């Protein structure tokens, strides 16, 4: 099966590909959507440009190829995630009238595959006045100079040993933001640099790992990072210092761009908007 771009392109409101996530508008073609179908038939192997290839040996979420609905004005792409008790997501590219069909498909597939949850993923364009859910944002390093920042931010390895030793406590407190997992990868030496803010000799915030990988057409992309500041240090500009340091690192090391996903109205969303990032659209989901 291949997707017809003349059917799909008019209903793709945001540059988001199932199982891959946000992509740069310049690489958004039917080939990316078709690649996800090919990957699903190759024993859960990763596509070479999949951001999740850094974390696992096999793909957790794959497209349910046999259940794809593809016709003019409506494309429904269901995926199955094997994480936890399982989840079926139906990515809805189409008109509002397609929601009922997407709901019925999600419920049917969840029952067939024994998945505990079923969701519909929907999209809005960047101009949508009621943007909600998650905003897709673009930092284009070719359009904006990101100077080196100041303040108490350095690569983790550049801090004295006593300061590095407090990262364990930081990671435990910020486990819900992924830092416990990240710290395991740091200890194993499997990830790139982690930029770290230290106050009073203790880790107060971090962003990383800092890694650049080629996208679907070979353009160097700064990969998504874990990003967080301890609650007692928030509201003082430390997050902005970390973020600017990360953007400078990406630009200085040859990245062309970074894509970010931020919860609409959240702290990271407000930070990115204030830093002049371009909004590419929105994703949001509803239970079915």
pTM for this predicted structure: 0.93
Tokens of 47: 């596509």
pLDDT (tens digit, 9 = 90+) per residue, 119-175?
999 999 999 988 999 999 999 999 988 988 789 999 999 999 999 999 999 999 999
Residue whose C-alpha is closest to residue 16's, from 130, 128, 182, 135: 135
Whole-angstrom distance, CA of residue 170 vs CA of residue 26: 38
Residues 6+ apart with CB under 8 A from 151: 197, 238, 241
Q: Are 88 and 106 in contact (CB under 8 A)?
A: yes
Query: Is the pLDDT assigned to residue 96 strictly greater than 90?
Result: no
Q: Running DSSP on this structure, what letter comes out for residue 261? A: E
- Using alpha carbons, list the distances in angstroms from residue 49 to 19, 22, 205, 223, 250: 12, 12, 29, 11, 18
User: Please, which pLDDT band fits residue 44 given cuts at 50, 70 and 90?
Assistant: low
Count CB neighbours of 224 within 10 A. Answer: 17
Domains of the chain plus CATH, in order, are 5-135 (no CATH), 143-255 (3.40.630.30)
First to last CA, the chain: 27
The C-alpha R_g of the chain, in whole angstroms, comes to: 20
pLDDT score for 157: 97
Mean pLDDT of the chain: 95
Residues 6+ apart with CB under 8 A from 178: 226
Whole-angstrom distance, CA of residue 262 vs CA of residue 102: 25
pLDDT score for 45: 80
Q: Are 280 and 126 in contact (CB under 8 A)?
A: yes
Query: Is the pLDDT assigned to residue 43 strictly greater than 80?
Result: no
- Using alpha carbons, list the distances in angstroms from residue 139 to 24, 39, 164, 168: 10, 28, 30, 31
pLDDT score for 42: 79
Average pLDDT over residues 46-53: 91
User: Please, which pLDDT band fits residue 34 given cuts at 50, 70 and 90?
Assistant: very high
């Amino acid at each position: 099966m291949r997707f017809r771009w003349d059917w799909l392109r008019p209903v793709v409101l945001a540059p988001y590909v199932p199982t891959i996530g946000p992509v740069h508008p310049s690489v958004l073609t039917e080939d990316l959507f078709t690649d996800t179908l090919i990957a699903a038939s190759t024993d859960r192997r990763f596509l070479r440009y999949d951001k999740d290839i850094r974390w696992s040996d096999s793909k957790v979420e794959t497209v349910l190829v046999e259940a794809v609905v593809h016709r003019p004005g409506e494309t429904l792409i269901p995926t199955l995630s094997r994480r936890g008790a399982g989840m079926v997501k139906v990515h809805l590219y189409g008109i509002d009238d397609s929601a009922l069909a997407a709901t019925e498909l999600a419920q049917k597939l969840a029952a067939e595959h024994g998945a505990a949850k079923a969701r519909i993923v929907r999209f809005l364009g960047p101009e949508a006045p009621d943007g909600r859910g998650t905003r897709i944002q673009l930092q284009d390093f070719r359009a904006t100079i990101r100077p080196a920042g100041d303040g108490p931010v350095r690569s983790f390895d550049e801090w004295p040993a006593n300061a590095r030793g407090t990262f364990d406590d930081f990671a435990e407190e910020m486990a819900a933001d992924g830092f416990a997992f990240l710290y395991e990868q740091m200890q194993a030496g499997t990830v790139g640099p982690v930029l770290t803010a230290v106050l009073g000799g203790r880790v107060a915030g971090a962003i990383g790992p800092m890694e650049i990988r080629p996208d679907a057409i070979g353009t160097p992309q700064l990969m998504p990072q874990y990003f967080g500041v301890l609650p007692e240090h928030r509201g003082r500009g430390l997050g902005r210092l970390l973020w600017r340091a990360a953007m400078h690192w990406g630009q200085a090391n040859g990245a062309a761009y970074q894509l970010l996903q931020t919860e609409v109205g959240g702290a990271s969303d407000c930070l990115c908007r204030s830093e002049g990032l371009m909004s590419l659209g929105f994703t949001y989901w509803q239970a079915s």
